[in-house]
């Protein structure tokens, strides 16, 4: 079995046969059984109790849900949604048909990310197998299947989980373009990379990283400069064609497209502007770069935007193997080189912006797994080059690390994260449980909603219960009549009390005796009932 790879010289780049791969071809039955097991593992970790963990429904998930409903109603909502501070709508179009079948439920917005996350594991296996060898491909797919970082976003109804899948195909077409030296492959690579703009706001950084890798290494090749320029032009033109709709949207000043970045830009923060000189600013940026890795590994500063960092997102053995892969400079094949570049560049997304540290560099996750698989292969290779005892120690040591990883992930995510009251708070558990109750009430009964944290107009409610007959009655959301007295012309209301307003239940029972008190289910974030409701008597 032979594989293709890139041979990088100082002045040239050319495709050569790598010769017999270090690992022999696996038997077909073992190969199929292995990838089937990995896919089943990936699916179980992403689909199991999908509606129940994370608990509740995040407001950004609600945006995806009601924007998908808008797609069903209008047919198109354009390339970008301004809600939730703005996000591309590409993945939301995939949610629309699911909504048509399943309705306004939590599972509706989480099903597509879970499916795409599982398919990403298969896509990564195909990428590594195509540009490396089967055993490295199985190791990389297994690591991604059990990566808590990837599992986390596969279980949340954000558009984010589709991004790594698109980036895997960007890598595939980019490396194919370098191999084939055909303008059609260059156009395809540019087009796929351009499509990434419809997936997530941070794709411009990945686009630049992937494009620079392709163009720089092609510039080093021995091909004629006319051909190099033609390839580069095909790439750029195809990317512009693919991103055309979003580019036109962004250039329209009425859409205020850049407001999302401006709000979270490091340059616009007082902490940056107060730094006195270039040296202080350089030190600040370097510290942010390394703090990103600390946050991903041990959760130094948990992110309350989406619950990231409440449990480690990368298991230490996976990171250690990735470091070995990163430092294995004898591996000069295209895929390893591409993965090194992406893993080095993408953390800059967390450097130049604040908050959401795990979201914006997320595209590097599959390529970190590539490096981990390469590191595992290198350790085994080094052991076999020494002596039989070293070979056994290396092989069994790597196997033990890989087997331990899914157990560590399960304990971290389905244990530490699941039982952390902060994730209940982030994912609006109390509000979600109260909405589930309010949906059971007869539509003619008015609902008076009291909460110091949420408006009844919050995105979670707008998706799960769009037709709810409910009014804000809390002071925090500007209710002119914020007391407990029923409004004129409304009979038999239901008072739904959350957080600090739950103490009003005794006053309601005293003023309107004979009604029905309803205690919501336990919520860890409330350390008690998620809500208290009082149904007025006949």
Q: What distances in angstroms separate CA 76 from CA 69, 79, 197, 400, one per listed residue? A: 10, 9, 17, 50
One domain, residues 76 and 95: yes
Q: Does residue 14 have a pLDDT over 80? A: no
pLDDT category, 224, cuts 50, 70, 90? confident
Helix H or strand E segment including 517: strand 516-519
Asked if residue 480 belongs to a domain, the reply is yes
One domain, residues 250 and 322: yes
The burial class, CB within 10 Å (0-12 / 13-18 / 19+), for 41 is: middle
Closest to 305 in 3D by CA, of 416, 199, 427, 161: 427
Q: Does residue 21 have a pLDDT over 50? A: no
DSSP reduced 3-state for 494: strand
Q: What is the pLDDT of residue 378?
A: 94
Residues 271-276: contacts with CB under 8 Å, at least 24 apart: none
Choice among 301-315, 355-369, 492-506, 516-530 with the minimum mean pLDDT: 301-315
The residue count of the chain comes to 538
**In the structure encoding, which two tokens stand for residue 26, read together?**
């696996």
Per-residue pLDDT of 485-499, as tens digits, reads 998 888 899 999 999
- State what percent of residues in the chain have pLDDT above 70: 95
Per-residue pLDDT of 525-537, as tens digits, reads 999 999 999 999 9
**In the structure encoding, which two tokens stand for residue 103, read together?**
């309705």
Q: What is the pLDDT of residue 217?
A: 86
Q: What is the pLDDT of residue 27?
A: 74
Q: What distances in angstroms separate CA 301 from CA 288, 293, 304, 356, one per listed residue? A: 12, 11, 9, 11
Give me the domain span that covers residue 404: 22-423
- 309 neighbors 358 (Cβ within 8 angstroms): yes
pLDDT category, 20, cuts 50, 70, 90? very low
Asked if residue 505 belongs to a domain, the reply is yes
Torsion of CA 227, 228, 231, 234, to 10 degrees: -100
Q: Enter the pTM of the model.
A: 0.91
**In the structure encoding, which two tokens stand for residue 253, read together?**
């000043």
One domain, residues 70 and 157: yes
Closest to 374 in 3D by CA, of 213, 138, 172: 138
- Arithmetic mean of pLDDT, 409-435: 94
Asked if residue 435 belongs to a domain, the reply is yes
Q: What distances in angstroms separate CA 104 from CA 87, 109, 222, one per listed residue? A: 21, 9, 57
Query: 253: which residues sit within 8 A by CB, 6+ positions away?
Result: none
Per-residue pLDDT of 248-305, as tens digits, reads 999 999 998 988 888 889 999 998 999 999 999 999 999 999 999 999 988 778 888 8
One domain, residues 514 and 482: yes
One domain, residues 157 and 55: yes
Choice among 307-311, 448-452, 504-508 with the minimum mean pLDDT: 307-311
Asked if residue 12 belongs to a domain, the reply is no
Q: What is the pLDDT of residue 25?
A: 58
Per-residue pLDDT of 446-489, as tens digits, reads 999 999 999 999 999 999 999 999 999 999 997 766 789 998 88
One domain, residues 145 and 189: yes
- Rounded (5°) CA angle 320-324-328: 170
Residue at a domain's end among 423, 446, 467: 423
Q: What is the pLDDT of residue 532?
A: 98
DSSP reduced 3-state for 96: helix
pLDDT category, 24, cuts 50, 70, 90? low
- 482 neighbors 474 (Cβ within 8 angstroms): yes
One domain, residues 322 and 389: yes
One domain, residues 188 and 148: yes
Q: Which phi and psi (to 5°) does residue 522 adopt?
A: -65, 140
Q: Which residue has the higher pLDDT, 299 or 403?
A: 403
Asked if residue 205 belongs to a domain, the reply is yes
User: Residues of 267-303 as b/e, b for ≥16 C-beta within 10 angstroms?
Assistant: eeeeebeeeeeeeeeeeeeeebeebbeebbbebeebb
One domain, residues 460 and 364: no
- Arithmetic mean of pLDDT, 388-411: 91
Average pLDDT, the chain: 91
One domain, residues 455 and 478: yes
Asked if residue 62 belongs to a domain, the reply is yes
Q: What is the pLDDT of residue 324?
A: 95
Q: Does residue 30 have a pLDDT over 50? A: yes
Q: Which phi and psi (to 5°) does residue 188 adopt?
A: -65, -45
Q: What is the pLDDT of residue 26?
A: 62
Q: Does residue 7 have a pLDDT over 70? A: no
One domain, residues 418 and 449: no
Start-to-end CA span in the chain (Å): 80
CB atoms within 10 A of CB 389: 9
Asked if residue 4 belongs to a domain, the reply is no
Q: What distances in angstroms separate CA 413 from CA 56, 107, 151, one per listed residue? A: 16, 19, 9
- How many domains does the chain contain in total? 2
Residue at a domain's end among 423, 457, 475: 423
Per-residue pLDDT of 117-157, as tens digits, reads 999 999 999 999 999 989 999 999 999 999 999 999 999 99
Residue at a domain's end among 402, 423, 444: 423
One domain, residues 261 and 372: yes
Asked if residue 397 belongs to a domain, the reply is yes
Residue 449 pairs in a beta bridge with 472, 496
Q: What is the pLDDT of residue 9?
A: 36
DSSP string of 46-73? HHTTTTTSSSS--HHHHHHHHHHHHHHH
């Amino acid at each position: 079995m032979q594989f293709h790879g890139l041979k990088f010289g100082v002045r040239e780049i050319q495709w050569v046969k790598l010769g017999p791969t270090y690992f022999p071809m696996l038997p077909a039955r073992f190969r199929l059984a292995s990838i089937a097991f990995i896919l089943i593992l990936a699916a179980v970790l992403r689909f199991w109790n999908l509606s129940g963990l994370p608990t509740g429904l995040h407001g950004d998930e609600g945006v995806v849900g009601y924007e998908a409903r808008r797609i069903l109603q209008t047919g198109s909502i354009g390339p970008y949604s301004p809600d939730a501070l703005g996000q591309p709508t590409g993945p939301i179009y995939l949610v629309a048909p699911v909504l048509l079948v399943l309705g306004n439920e939590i599972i509706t917005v989480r099903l597509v990310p879970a499916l795409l996350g599982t398919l990403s594991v298969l896509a990564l296996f195909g990428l590594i197998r195509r540009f490396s060898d089967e055993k490295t491909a199985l190791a990389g797919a297994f690591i991604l299947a059990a990566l808590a970082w990837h599992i986390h976003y596969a279980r949340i109804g954000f558009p984010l989980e589709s991004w790594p899948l698109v980036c895997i195909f960007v890598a595939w077409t980019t490396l194919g373009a370098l191999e084939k030296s055909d303008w059609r492959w260059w156009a395809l690579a540019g087009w796929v990379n351009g499509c990434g703009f419809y997936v997530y706001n941070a794709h411009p950084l990945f686009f630049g990283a992937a494009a620079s890798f392709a163009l720089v290494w092609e510039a080093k090749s021995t091909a004629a400069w006319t051909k190099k320029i033609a390839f580069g032009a095909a790439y750029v033109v195809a990317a512009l064609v693919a991103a055309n709709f979003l580019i036109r949207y962004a250039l329209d000043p009425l859409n205020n497209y850049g407001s999302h970045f401006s709000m979270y830009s490091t340059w616009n923060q007082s902490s940056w502007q107060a730094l006195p000189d270039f040296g202080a600013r350089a030190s600040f940026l370097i510290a942010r770069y390394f703090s990103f890795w600390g946050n991903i590994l041990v959760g130094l500063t948990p992110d309350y935007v989406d619950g990231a960092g409440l449990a480690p997102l990368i298991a230490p053995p996976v990171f250690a193997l990735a470091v070995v892969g990163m430092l294995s400079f004898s591996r000069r094949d295209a895929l390893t080189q591409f993965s090194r570049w992406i893993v080095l560049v993408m953390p800059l997304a967390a450097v130049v912006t604040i908050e959401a540290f795990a979201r914006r560099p997320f595209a590097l996750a599959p390529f970190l797994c590539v490096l981990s698989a390469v590191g595992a292969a290198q350790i085994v290779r080094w052991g076999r080059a020494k002596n039989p005892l070293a070979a056994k120690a290396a092989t069994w040591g790597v196997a033990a690390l890989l087997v331990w990883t899914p157990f560590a992930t399960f304990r971290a995510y389905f244990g530490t994260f699941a039982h952390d009251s902060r994730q209940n708070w982030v994912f609006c558990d109390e509000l979600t449980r109260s909405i589930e109750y309010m949906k059971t009430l007869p539509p003619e009964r008015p609902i008076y909603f009291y909460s110091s944290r949420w408006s009844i107009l919050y995105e979670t409610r707008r998706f799960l219960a769009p037709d709810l007959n409910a009014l804000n009655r809390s002071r925090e959301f500007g209710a002119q009549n914020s007391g407990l007295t029923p409004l004129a012309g409304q009979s038999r209301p239901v008072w739904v009390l959350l957080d600090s307003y739950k103490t009003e239940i005794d006053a309601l029972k005293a003023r309107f005796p004979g009604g029905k008190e309803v205690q919501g289910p336990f919520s860890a974030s409330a350390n008690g009932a998620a809500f208290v409701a009082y149904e007025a008597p006949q």
